[in-house]
Structures are given as C-alpha cells and as structure tokens.
Amino acid sequence: MESLVILISGRGSNMQSLLEARAQIDRITVISSNPDALGLETAKKYGVNTNVIDHRSYADRQTFDTALAKCIDSHQPKLVALAGFMRILSDRFVQHFQGRLVNIHPSLLPAFPGLGTHARALQEGIRIHGCTVHFVTPQLDHGPIIIQAAIPVLPWDTEETLATRVLQQEHHIYPRAVRWFMEDRIKLIENHVEVLDSSFCEITLYSPGLSE
C-alpha cells in the first residue's frame, strides 16, 4: 500500500492540491506542527487522517524533530511532502528521510532561497520568476530539482500579484512531482533528477502555455 505523509503549519493550499490529485496513493496522512492550522480542517473534509505534533510542546528543535519523525514513521510513508511546513528541520531529521523528503519553494532555485522571495525578485528586477519542487537536503532550499515552473514578471506586478501567479503554478507542478515519485519514475543520480518515461506534456520545466 502506497502511503504519503504531508507536513503543514498553516492553510495548506499546496496540501489541498495534492489531496485533489491523489494519483497512485492508497493512504494519505496530514501532520501539522500547529494545532490551529486551517489545513487540518481542509484535510478532514477530504477524509484524510490528521495528526498534530505541536512544536510549542517541545523544549528544542531536536526533541520536536524526534517526535515528528516517530509519528511519520508510524505511517510508513513512501514519500514525505512539505507543504507550507514552517519549521527548520534538523540535519538528523533530513538524513533520516533522505531521498523521500520533498519540498516546494516559491522561486526558481537556486535563486532566492529562504523567505521573501517575491519581494526580492521584484527588487532585483528579474524578468522570469517561478517555483521549484526539490528533494530536501540539510542545506536550506538546496537539493536536487525535480520540476520547476517559470512565469514572466510583468511590469505592473506587485509582491501580491506575483505571489498569486506563482502559487497557481505550485498547485500545478507539486502534484505532478509527487505522482512521478509514487509511480517510481524518478531516478536520483548524485545531484540530478531524471524522470523516466517522460513525454512532452511532462517536461520538468513548465511554462504556462507551453504544455498542458
């Protein structure tokens, strides 16, 4: 039985895109670091099992990560997907799930890691922006890239309009990356990801209007 664990801290819009897609997944569990996360209610509406590991109940990051890893392991997931999970994970945690822990970031990595990506993109005057699904490594927002989506930065863009259009693409590519992994179509070679049996409609650099 193929199992997916999704980690959230807030409203979980990327979580919802994964729940809607579902793909070749038999069981999905949503775990939140925040007991008040709106995404928990969304997950319940989809009939998905939920757990809460409240980070405020633990003395430090290491003990929180240990409890979180134990909860995740109890569900025996094939893949763990971060979806707005607002906690920096310890190296030990990341290494424990190495090769089966993915994240989506609102920039074309390696550009603009960290927070405030849309404001920084506008400040730098770049013409192309987007989002990236990647394997998680101990280095923040730095890991083998699975798929990216690129959009133009328009002359009238604000931080809010840019964020909205990037989020639309996040919802498009994250389910695709998860589906590839669950179908055993991702091959990780050192720092590079190869998608097996990919077609034109499943290219790993997505630009709206270029493919489906």
CATH number, domain containing residue 185: 3.40.50.170
110 and 208 fall within a common domain: yes
Ranges of beta strands (E only) in 95-207 are 101-105, 128-135, 145-152, 186-189, 192-195, 205-206
**What pLDDT, on a 0 to 100 scale, did the predictor assign at position 198?**
64
DSSP annotation of 90 reads: P
pTM over 0.75: yes
68 and 110 fall within a common domain: no
- What's the CA gap between 167 and 97, in Å, rounded? 26
**What pLDDT, on a 0 to 100 scale, did the predictor assign at position 136?**
96
117 and 83 fall within a common domain: no
Q: Which residue has the tokens 């190296």?
A: 91
Residue finishing a domain among 71, 97, 123: 97
**What pLDDT, on a 0 to 100 scale, did the predictor assign at position 45?**
94
25 and 112 fall within a common domain: no
Q: Is 118 a catalytic residue?
A: no
**What pLDDT, on a 0 to 100 scale, did the predictor assign at position 23?**
67
18 and 68 fall within a common domain: yes
56 and 40 fall within a common domain: yes
- What's the CA gap between 149 and 119, in Å, rounded? 18
Distances (CA, A) of 37 to 19, 31, 46, 66, 75: 16, 10, 15, 21, 21
Q: Report the candidate in 181, 24, 25 with the shortest Cα–Cα distance to residue 100.
A: 181
CB 49 within 8 A of CB 29: yes
**What pLDDT, on a 0 to 100 scale, did the predictor assign at position 108?**
97
pLDDT tens series, the chain, 212 aa: 689 999 999 999 999 999 998 766 889 999 999 999 999 999 999 999 999 999 999 999 999 999 999 999 999 999 999 999 999 899 999 999 999 999 999 999 999 999 999 999 999 999 999 999 999 999 988 999 999 999 999 999 999 999 999 999 999 999 999 999 999 999 888 889 988 876 645 667 766 644 43
74 and 111 fall within a common domain: no
**What pLDDT, on a 0 to 100 scale, did the predictor assign at position 132?**
97
Count of domains forming the chain: 2
122 and 182 fall within a common domain: yes
- Domain hosting residue 167, numbered range: 103-212
Active-site residue, from 105, 118, 134, 171 = 105
154 and 121 fall within a common domain: yes
Residue finishing a domain among 97, 122, 150: 97
Residue finishing a domain among 70, 97, 124: 97
29 and 120 fall within a common domain: no
Q: Which two tokens stand for residue 148?
A: 């990216």
